[in-house]
Amino acid sequence: MSEPRAPRYNPLFERFVDASQPDPEMLPGMVAYCLYKLAKREWATDFFERNGRKPNDDELQEYIRTWTPTRVSGAEKEAEAVLLAFAGSVIENNAPQIREEALRGTFWKSVWTSCVAAGIYTLFLIFVAVVLRSVGIDLLSTVQAVGGR
């Protein structure tokens, strides 16, 4: 009976994706890895058309070795551009809805908030006047005396 072989995987995955990061931070690397896989598929299709056969394991490994740090960095930058373009299109497509939700009810909500604030301030001023009156200071006489000079 043969010994089980270790699972085979593409070593470039770790170059693109840091699996220790939280999911949202892995997204650019995942997109970059997808771009790599698209390029690999394109290469394999071209290889088949030129040679009439699928590439063997050695040829696939040789292709993987062509992905230098500079090429990996280029795929990462392209992935960031893809994500930025996607985010921009989502915002652009939803701008009317976002604007409507932002403006919905804003006027009356602001009026209500202002009225409540003005009421609280008025109650505070009445409280101050009552406290001053209770300690013997006549606020109205003081204001008239200052204004009459």
Q: For residues 122 and 116, what is the distance between their CA atoms, to the nearest angstrom?
A: 10
Q: For residues 50 and 52, what is the distance between their CA atoms, to the nearest angstrom?
A: 6
Q: For residues 26 and 33, what is the distance between their CA atoms, to the nearest angstrom?
A: 11
- Whether 67 and 130 map to the same domain: the answer is no
Task: Tell me whether residue 139 is in a domain.
Answer: yes
- Whether 91 and 127 map to the same domain: the answer is no
- The enclosing H or E element of 46 equals helix 23-51
pLDDT, greater one: 145 or 148: 145
pLDDT band, residue 49 (cuts 50/70/90): very high
The count of C-alpha atoms lying within 13 angstroms of the C-alpha of 57, restricted to the half-sphere facing its C-beta, is 3
Residue 34 tokens, joined: 């997808």
pTM of the predicted model, to two decimals? Answer: 0.60
Q: CA 21, 25, 29: angle at the middle one, nearest 5?
A: 95
- Over 70: is that where the pLDDT of 114 sits? yes
Q: For residues 45 and 43, what is the distance between their CA atoms, to the nearest angstrom?
A: 5
Task: Tell me whether residue 1 is in a domain.
Answer: no
- Over 80: is that where the pLDDT of 8 sits? no
- Over 90: is that where the pLDDT of 82 sits? yes
* pLDDT given for residue 148 in this prediction: 67
- Domain of 92 in residue numbering reads as 12-103
